[in-house]
Amino acid sequence: MTKETPSQPKLPPTSAIDKLTKTEFDTWFEYPIRVQPHHTDYAGITWHGTYLTWMEEARVECLRSIGIDFADLVALGCDLPVVELSVRYHRSLQLGMMALVKTRMLEVTGVRMNWDYKIVSTDEQELYVSAQVTLVALDRERGKIMRQLPPAMKDALAKISASYK
């Protein structure tokens, strides 16, 4: 006779944790990418630093979409260096795969800008990477953090942050 053990609660498979819903991305900026040979290691798996490049490209394009051209910021003497970065790699992208870099600005506090990222499959069902980045406005000439954002940038960022709330 075999002894019965009490039924254990079943946890969802790990992959279920990384499943997404399309409504999660209603207010996110979308930047499509395809994994090219120079993005990968010898096994055809995307090198971890490539994801950071894609996130920066998405952020620059998101800013451009609201009227902030990075070249104009540089001309104004403003730079936006990363001061904090948190990345979680959920699963790898491989050579030839396509994905979407989703980004949104979470908040602007003074001269600090917090951004959120998700790199997902084109059908938005698989999560590859999630990340958060904090930038600060820096006076390029003095090499010091600015006291306030340039007025044109502040106005454009107010529009984008209002659309996320």
User: How many residues does this entry show for the chain?
Assistant: 165
CA gap 153, 165 in Å, rounded:
19
- Which residue among the candidates 26, 41, 79, 155 is catalytic per the annotation? 41
CA gap 95, 14 in Å, rounded:
24
Q: Are 129 and 90 contacting, i.e. CB atoms less than 8 angstroms apart?
A: yes
Q: Both tokens of residue 30?
A: 């979308």
Sheet with 138-139, side-by-side order of all strands: 78-79, 138-139, 144-145
CA gap 61, 32 in Å, rounded:
11
> Is 18 an annotated catalytic residue?
no
Give me the active site residues, please: 41
